[in-house]
Structure 1
Amino acid sequence: MEDPKVGIQQNAYEWLSSIPPEKWSRSHFPIHSKCDAVTNNMCESFNNYILEARELPIISMLESIKGKLITRIQVKRAGMLRCEGKICPNIKKKVAKTALFSKGWDCQFAREERYEISNGTYKHCVRLDKRECSCGMFQLSGIPCCHAMCCIIKYRKNEDDYVHAFYTKETYLKIYEHMIHLIPGKNDYVESEIEAVLPPQSKAKVGRPQKSNERKRARSQSLASSTTGQLHESPSEQ
Structure 2
Amino acid sequence: MDVERIDDWQFSVKSGAGLYNVDLELRTCSCGVFEVEKIPCSHAIAAINDARLLVSSYVSPAYNKNTVHATYAHPLYPSASNFSFVKKEPCPPGACTGPGRKKKSRWQTWLELARKRNNKPRKMPKKYTCSKCKLPGHTRPKCVSIL
TM-score by length of 1: 0.31
Q: State the structure with more CA Rg.
A: 2
Name the one with the larger strand percent. Answer: 2
Q: Which structure's relative contact order is higher, taking Cα pairs within 8 Å and 6+ residues apart?
A: 1
TM-score for both structures, normalised by structure 2: 0.49
